[in-house]
Amino acid sequence: MGKKRRQFGLRYGSEAIAASTELERFPNTGLFLEGRLRHDLSQEEKVELESLVSRVEILPDGHRLISRGDICDHSTMLIDGFMLRTLDSGDRRYGVSFHVPGDFVDLHCFALKRLDHNIECVGQAKVGLVPHERIAEVMKEKPHLARLFWFSTLLDAAMHREWIMKLEQLKVPQRIAHIFAEVWCRLDMVGLAFEDGFDTPLTQADLADMCGATPIHVNRAIGELRKSGIADFNRGEVRICNREKLESFADFEKDYLYGDGALSLRQDGL
Amino acid sequence: MGKKRRQFGLRYGSEAIAASTELERFPNTGLFLEGRLRHDLSQEEKVELESLVSRVEILPDGHRLISRGDICDHSTMLIDGFMLRTLDSGDRRYGVSFHVPGDFVDLHCFALKRLDHNIECVGQAKVGLVPHERIAEVMKEKPHLARLFWFSTLLDAAMHREWIMKLEQLKVPQRIAHIFAEVWCRLDMVGLAFEDGFDTPLTQADLADMCGATPIHVNRAIGELRKSGIADFNRGEVRICNREKLESFADFEKDYLYGDGALSLRQDGL
DNA sequence: ATGGCATTATAACATATGATTGGTCCCGTG
DNA sequence: CACGGGACCAATCATATGTTATAATGCCAT
């Protein structure tokens, strides 16, 4: 799952190092809220969090964690790998968002009970399972941790909103660029990006599902990115030629990720 | 704010009546989760909820409740009127979602602290203000109500996801139809829809912002809906000629609203 | 009532994207 | 090694949408 080219850590260098020691101490949940509000977790809460994971599993490529309408009694922490949230309509699949390690991918199914969408692996994934009774305990007894859980699901909503805006604003080539920029940034936040891009099991067809285009047109768009020296894509190897160019082309402003941008809560905490 | 044509209540008739008596008893929060999980609130919780509202205000058309980046210390219950969540980019405004009475429009800013988007009135609105200290109390002392609060913010995310999918899937005429269908349905859930449509302060330009199109094209699209006998729009009066036609044209499936569809929690509660 | 302004309407042309088709490259399997 | 399938690439034509321009309508303040 992603042979590393180089360690990135341009901007989040210190956190990347922090994250790696966190991962030793908390192998399953060490990346949760990393680059966001992890610093707002007390040592005690980190221990509590890690203890919530009752079982770790390896899931194969394409595995469906949850299908729309399923009732579930546990939630899932993504430890390693990539996942996609999808919706089916007509005979086609649409991607609504994706996940990187550290994401509590279906925490919301605790309060939603039945999910409105599917969650599936892209490539092999390692996950940690958290029984809902344990989350209910947290709700009762650890209001601060509960609030951070809430926060983490609201992060999804903020990312949804940004994507809605981008879908309304951008043509397909720029949408692709935006996806590249966001994945790169989010991987970077958890210390998994390379200096010149990232590796992903996503195919051009997946990208098409994610931005509501045809694979043919996605291919055109990628060709365009390549020709204009912005980024290259080849069998999951995404190489960013020029970060500024990419981000300005895609009109990517990372604030909405609640990392270190204008909306960050790093100073304040929750 | 919306002279009523007729009472709708085709499907939610009983709830509409229930809602009106709820509104007598709980004039500010009586529509919260109406048509969704309101029945899961105990009488005690309803009283608690109503008591959270510290002040009621009337806001003028176009008023900005919150701007992106603002820090806020209270959240807002929409009692009467319509609101839009928007994002600005370039020199244009994009709508990401809208709100109807009963929506706790910015509950999420409790856990997000700074919002990533703006919230503004479309037409005059009546709102109830809830201090964040009170919400923190709820988090500490009323886990079930806290969970319902969480649920209500997750509802937003579910609606975001559906809209993402629709943006990826639908052309502009169908997007407009989908907006009509959703607004109609949501108004109906709180007893505010007419049998043959609804009134709204939205203009064609607003609709354009909401579906990422130009006002000119929105106008074309509305002309198309009119010509094919699906719906009519004139200065905020939306008349639905044929519900089935509208919903099948827009591919509208109301499950994602967590009302009485396949994903409903009405039997189970939370 | 009258002028101004927001809202809605229509037309002609340019561009982005979809649909269809076919081709190439790479990798795992027999 | 031959083969097949998945991923990627490319050209053509049809359609949806943007752009620009212009105008009709209804509302409101003076």
Q: Residue ranges per domain, chain A?
A: 13-153, 166-257
pLDDT at B17: 63
Q: Residues 155-194, chain A: which have Cβ under 7 A from strand C?
A: 171-173
Number of Cβ pairs < 8 A linking chain A and chain B: 144
Residue B136 at interface with chain A, using a CB cutoff of 8 Å: yes
What is the least distance, in Å, from the CA of A13 to any CA of chain B?
25
DSSP, collapsed to helix, strand or coil, labels residue B166 as helix
The enclosing H or E element of A136 equals: helix A132-141
Distance between CA atoms of residues A160 and A183, nearest Å: 14
pLDDT at A18: 67
- Per-block mean pLDDT, blocks of 10 residues, chain B (270 long): 36 57 93 95 97 96 95 96 96 96 97 95 96 96 95 98 97 97 96 94 97 96 95 94 95 95 79
- Chain B hits for A205, CB-CB cut-off 8 Å, are none
Among candidate residues B79, B69, B245, B99, the one with its CA nearest the CA of residue B159? B99
pLDDT at A186 over 80: yes
| Contact of A106 with A66, CB cutoff 8 Å | yes
CATH match for B22-154 among 2.60.120.10, 3.30.300.30, 3.40.50.150, 3.40.630.10: 2.60.120.10
Instruction: Please list, in sequence order, all residues whose beta carbon lies within 8 angstroms of the beta carbon of residue A14, skipping any fewer than 6 positions away.
Output: none
Torsion of CA B157, B158, B161, B166, to 10 degrees: -130
Query: Max CA-CA distance within chain A?
Result: 56
Chain A residues 182-211 with CB within 8 Å of chain B: 211
Whether A153 sits inside 8 A of B156 (CB atoms) is no
Per-residue burial over B149-185, b = 16 or more CB atoms within 10 Å of its CB, e = otherwise:
bbbbbbbbbbbbbbbbbbbbbbebbbbbbbbbbbbbb
Chain B residues 153-172 with CB within 8 Å of chain A: 153-154, 156-158, 160-165, 167-169
Nearest to B154 among A68, A108, A263 (CB): A108
Q: How many other CB atoms are found less than 10 A from the CB of residue A46?
A: 18
pLDDT at A13 over 70: no
CATH match for A166-257 among 1.10.10.10, 1.10.3720.10, 3.40.50.720, 1.20.1250.20: 1.10.10.10
CA angle A216, A218, A219 (to 5 degrees): 65
Among candidate residues A107, A201, A111, A222, the one with its CA nearest the CA of residue A153? A107
pLDDT at A11 over 90: no
Instruction: Please give the nucleotide, over all strands, whose C1' is closest to the CA of residue B170.
Output: D16
- Which tens digits make up the pLDDT trace of A116-133? 999 999 999 999 999 999
Report the first-to-last Cα separation within chain B, whole angstroms. 34
| β partners of residue A59 | A125
As a residue count, chain A comes to 270
C-alpha gyration radius of chain A: 18
Whether A108 sits inside 8 A of B157 (CB atoms) is yes
| β partners of residue B59 | B125
Whether A108 sits inside 8 A of B167 (CB atoms) is no
| β partners of residue B55 | B129
Residue-wise DSSP of B75-119: EEEEEEEEEEEEEEETTEEEEEEEE-TT-BTTTTHHHHSB-SSEE
- Which tens digits make up the pLDDT trace of A35-50? 999 999 999 999 999 9
Band of residue A266 on the pLDDT scale cut at 50, 70, 90: confident
Whether B161 sits inside 8 A of A85 (CB atoms) is yes
Output phi, psi for B266, to 5 deg.
Answer: -60, -40
What is the least distance, in Å, from the CA of A168 to any CA of chain B?
4
Distance between CA atoms of residues A54 and A154, nearest Å: 24
DSSP, collapsed to helix, strand or coil, labels residue B46 as helix
Among candidate residues A148, A143, A254, A130, the one with its CA nearest the CA of residue B113? A148
- Which tens digits make up the pLDDT trace of A79-129? 999 999 999 998 899 999 999 999 999 999 999 999 999 999 999 999 999
Nearest to A154 among B111, B139, B163 (CB): B111
Position of tokens 């990720």? A257
Q: What is the mean pLDDT of residues A173-177?
A: 97
| Contact of A107 with A49, CB cutoff 8 Å | no
Output phi, psi for B4, to 5 deg.
Answer: -80, 140
Chosen for mutation from B168, B175, B176 (greatest number of chain A CBs closer than 10 Å) is B168
As a residue count, chain B comes to 270
| Contact of A221 with A257, CB cutoff 8 Å | no
Band of residue A142 on the pLDDT scale cut at 50, 70, 90: very high
Among candidate residues A238, A222, A232, the one with its CA nearest the CA of residue A175? A222
Q: Which residue of A has its CA nearest to B161?
A: A96
Band of residue A65 on the pLDDT scale cut at 50, 70, 90: very high
| β partners of residue B56 | B128
Distance between CA atoms of residues A98 and B184, nearest Å: 31
pLDDT at B254: 95
Q: Which nucleotides of D are covered by protein (CB under 7 A)?
A: 6-11, 16-21, 26-27
Report the first-to-last Cα separation within chain A, whole angstroms. 34
Q: What is the DSSP letter of A32?
A: T
Where does A13-153 sit in CATH, by number?
A: 2.60.120.10
Could you tell me the distance in Å between the CA of residue B180 and the C1' of nucleotide C9? 20
Whether A169 sits inside 8 A of B251 (CB atoms) is no
Instruction: Please give the nucleotide, over all strands, whose C1' is closest to the CA of residue A168.
Output: D17
What is the least distance, in Å, from the CA of B103 to any CA of chain A?
16
